[in-house]
């Protein structure tokens, strides 16, 4: 049974510096708000800085002493990712927690600035590059963690190396599931490489179950948005509940790296956070290692952790 862990159980985060991607709304905003309320210095790394500024203002209104800063980050543009990492190193110097939260879902085939399929490029490759560029700032920090947000959709994913970018054929939901499987494989491979390198940084993953956020309405075609508008109202839990698994992965004391956290309810769709299982393809170490190598080649970012 779950322990019914909530945001009220987050330990004191005073003195810890946190980066949350996609923190302008939904799960990211709920995560940033909870961490700021616990005393963390939160960097809201967002493409839409106008919405992020409004979100930061709302956090300050709710938690008067909250430390929140908005920084520009477009994960679909590697130049933006590098620029963010350079500014972070210059302005902050050290990082205790990185929450790879931002994402797009089921969009028509589009390309990032660097020519990657949008869902793989944003959900996986952008976060892969960001993590690699920030990892040096995390080394030596007490209980430093990388938390990558995936989905139950990873269970339906397959990494198609022969059609990774959807150039030969493309179905938006297959591409989304592939990107979410890539998140889980990245988490696990990063954890293995960190342990081999003797690093104290931990890599974990989480998924929100079915949460009502703008992820379902921002990118999918109109017919999908209409369906989600109804199902979100009837079936989904709110963003605050959906954010609990990633908050648990980010702050629960004495967690091991390599864990996957999700809701404790039926089919992991809603509820309180607990350790959940990863689908068989998400445990394939050979695929994870190959995806890592391909990701390094595509992004030009090397972690320096060895194999």
The residues annotated as belonging to the active site are 176
CA 74, 102, 176, 106: dihedral to nearest 10 degrees?
-80
Query: In this structure, how many other beta carbons lie within 10 angstroms of the beta carbon of residue 47?
Result: 18
User: DSSP string spanning 177-226?
Assistant: HHHHHHHHHHHHHHHHHHHHTT---EEEEE--SSB-STHHHHSS-HHHHH
User: Whole-angstrom Cα distance, residue 285 to residue 217?
Assistant: 34
Query: In this structure, how many other beta carbons lie within 10 angstroms of the beta carbon of residue 108?
Result: 11
User: Whole-angstrom Cα distance, residue 121 to residue 144?
Assistant: 25
User: Whole-angstrom Cα distance, residue 60 to residue 69?
Assistant: 11
The DSSP call for residue 211 is B
The DSSP call for residue 149 is E
Smallest Cα–Cα separation from 96: which of 11, 198, 165?
Answer: 11
């Amino acid at each position: 049974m779950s322990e019914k862990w909530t945001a009220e159980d987050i330990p004191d985060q005073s003195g810890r510096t946190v980066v949350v991607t996609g923190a302008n709304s939904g799960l990211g905003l709920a995560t940033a708000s909870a961490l700021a309320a616990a005393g963390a210095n939160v960097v809201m790394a967002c493409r839409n800085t106008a919405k992020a500024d409004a979100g930061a203002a709302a956090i300050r209104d709710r938690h008067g002493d909250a430390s929140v800063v908005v920084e520009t980050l477009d994960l679909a543009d590697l130049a933006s990712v590098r620029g963010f990492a350079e500014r972070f190193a210059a302005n902050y110097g050290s990082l205790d927690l990185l929450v790879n939260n931002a994402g797009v879902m089921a969009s028509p085939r589009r390309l990032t600035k660097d020519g990657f399929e949008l869902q793989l490029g944003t959900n996986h490759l952008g976060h892969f590059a960001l993590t690699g560029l920030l990892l040096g700032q995390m080394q030596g920090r007490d209980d430093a963690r990388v938390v990558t947000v995936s989905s139950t959709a990873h269970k339906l994913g397959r990494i198609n190396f022969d059609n990774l970018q959807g150039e030969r054929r493309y179905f938006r939901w297959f591409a989304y599931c592939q990107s979410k499987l890539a998140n889980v494989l990245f988490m696990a491979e990063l954890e293995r490489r960190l342990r081999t390198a003797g690093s104290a940084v931990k890599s974990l993953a989480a998924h929100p179950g079915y949460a009502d956020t703008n992820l379902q309405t921002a990118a999918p075609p109109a017919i999908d948005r209409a369906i989600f508008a109804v199902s979100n109202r009837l079936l989904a839990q709110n963003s605050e509940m959906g954010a609990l698994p990633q908050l648990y992965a980010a702050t629960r004391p004495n967690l091991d790296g390599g864990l996957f956290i999700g809701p404790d309810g039926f089919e992991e769709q809603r509820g309180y956070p607990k350790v959940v299982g990863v689908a068989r393809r998400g445990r394939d170490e050979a695929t994870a290692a190959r995806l890592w190598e391909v990701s390094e080649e595509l992004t030009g970012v090397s972690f320096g952790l060895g194999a």
